[in-house]
Amino acid sequence: MNITDLKTVLDPQAIGEDLHRFATTLYPICRSITGDGFRETLRQIEQFIPLKRYEVPTGTQVFDWTVPREWNIRDAYVKNSKGERVIDFKQHNLHVVNYSVPVHETMSLEALKPHLFSLPEHPDWIPYRTSYYKDTWGFCLTHQQLLDLPEDQYEVCIDSTLDAGNLTYGEYYLPGEVEDEVLVSCHACHPSLANDNLSGIAIAVYLAKALSEVARRYSYRFIFIPATIGSITWLSQNEDQVHRIKHGLVLSCLGDPGKSTYKKSRQGNAEVDRAVTHVLSHSEQDHNIIDFLPYGYDERQFCSPGFNLPVGCFMRSPNSKFPEYHTSADNLDFIQSECLADSFVKCLGVLSVLEHNKIYVNQNPKCEPQLGKRGLYRSIGGSSGTGLNELALLWTLNLSDGQHSLLDIAERSGFKFDVIKQVADALIETHLLKESAN
């Protein structure tokens, strides 16, 4: 079985429910760019696929950056003078500014307020804030909670550690017929954010699991990394191997009801850019293709000028373009099973195009070959019993000159790639096509 066969046997409803269920398992974990929350996330992933884990020590130089100290947190709260928790990390892990240094003090509301963060425009949502590279602390709360805080003396406690340790990442490698690789990357460092984080993780895991069960031309490398510093570290640790990456996707924000969005690689017309564009164009759904810009997720590291890898970013609603982004409203109700399934199927479609996009040579190139005697053409009355599109046959024969790939043919003819692949297979069986040696 290959990827194309896999697409025909999948049950989208079942896969959507599985993806949402896995995201639900991961949701309560307090993740960060380092620490035990990230490791626990990798442990959950290992229930589905085997991972090779890497631990990179604090202080390691990774290009212009340095691996930071490791952060772990056990508890955090703000108590009023009655001993009641008015802000409680155990109720929602977004309540603490991620990477907050430890603190245990009693202070007035006036002294506390500079350390409190809310969203006046969304008074019932908790914002997500971080302080990765500055030693400070803080709490996030709903704006309504903030307005309700009376003058009082408050006990403030963040039971965390920020010490020398490691940055952790996980990798799953699937060898194929060739060493050329397809890279699939997702950041696995955000706490309870379902769309921005968990949707990408879930889809990457299930893609890896599905690909492990089929024949593969390319080798596949799935990496689960902390955002920004993780891709920088991975590239630094694997600089001598990145030449094998021929195609790549960064996955994020794939479970919301927005239209599918693809941000092209820096190259702009890489094969992966064309493959995603083709799949979305033939999806019969509204979609958005945007050009590369050096802002967003880890594609900006893979596409930095020193690497310029063919890696794009596949999303639904882009980061920062939906109100729920980096707030408690990006929860398990915000992501939908059918949207996760739709994103999964489209990703699988892109990988199918990449897997099967080969160049062929017409073995009978002088004028059209006689298709009827090979059972490839209609017999009488304009009807065909072959199930093959005749115009697609003619396009494939005409452009199979050792210069055009199947994707080239699909783009020029307007046919879906799967149709061109189907007729190419039939032409190979009748010895009219042969794979190019180049």
Rounded average pLDDT over 77-91: 98
| Distance between CA atoms of residues 70 and 394, nearest Å | 61
Does the pLDDT at position 223 exceed 80?
Answer: yes
- Strand order, beta sheet including 433-435: 401-405, 359-362, 433-435
Q: What is the pLDDT of residue 3?
A: 86
- Give the C-alpha distances (Å, rounded to integers) separating 398 from 262, 371, 413, 431: 31, 13, 11, 15
Q: What is the pLDDT of residue 373?
A: 86
CATH 3.50.30.90 fits 72-163, yes or no: yes
Q: What is the pLDDT of residue 160?
A: 98
Q: What is the pLDDT of residue 379?
A: 42
- Strand order, beta sheet including 85-88: 85-88, 70-79, 153-163, 103-108
Rounded average pLDDT over 56-72: 98
The pLDDT tens digits of the residues spanning 150-193 come to 999 999 999 999 999 999 999 999 999 999 999 999 999 999 99
The one-character DSSP state at 388 is: -
Q: What's the chain's average pLDDT?
A: 95
Domain boundaries, given as residue ranges, for the chain? 3-67+166-356, 72-163, 359-435
Q: What is the pLDDT of residue 381?
A: 38
Q: Are 19 and 340 in contact (CB under 8 A)?
A: yes
How open is the CA angle 253-259-265, to the nearest 5 degrees?
65
Rounded average pLDDT over 115-120: 98
Among candidate residues 409, 249, 268, the one with its CA nearest the CA of residue 343: 249
Residue 9, classed as helix, strand or coil, is helix
**Which two structure tokens, joined as six digits, stand for 404?**
């055009």
Q: Are 316 and 259 in contact (CB under 8 A)?
A: yes
Annotated binding-site members: 190, 196, 326
**Which two structure tokens, joined as six digits, stand for 374?**
């090979």
**Residue 282: CB atoms within 10 Å:** 16
Does the pLDDT at position 254 exceed 50?
Answer: yes
Q: Identify the architecture of domain 3-67+166-356 in CATH.
A: 3-Layer(aba) Sandwich (3.40)
Q: What is the pLDDT of residue 8?
A: 80
How open is the CA angle 14-19-22, to the nearest 5 degrees?
125
Could you tell me the pTM of the whole model?
0.95
| Distance between CA atoms of residues 312 and 354, nearest Å | 14
User: At the topology level of CATH, where does 359-435 sit?
Assistant: Arc Repressor Mutant, subunit A (1.10.10)
Identity at 110, one-letter amino acid code: E
Q: Are 187 and 297 in contact (CB under 8 A)?
A: yes
- Give the C-alpha distances (Å, rounded to integers) separating 168 from 40, 41, 42, 228, 319: 11, 11, 9, 13, 24
Rounded average pLDDT over 22-40: 98
Annotated binding-site members for Zn(2+): 190, 196, 326
The pLDDT tens digits of the residues spanning 337-394 come to 999 999 999 999 999 999 999 999 999 999 989 888 888 875 433 444 456 788 999 9
The pLDDT tens digits of the residues spanning 234-249 come to 999 999 999 999 999 9
Q: What is the pLDDT of residue 384?
A: 47
Q: Pick 309 or 438 by higher pLDDT.
A: 309
Rounded average pLDDT over 305-333: 97
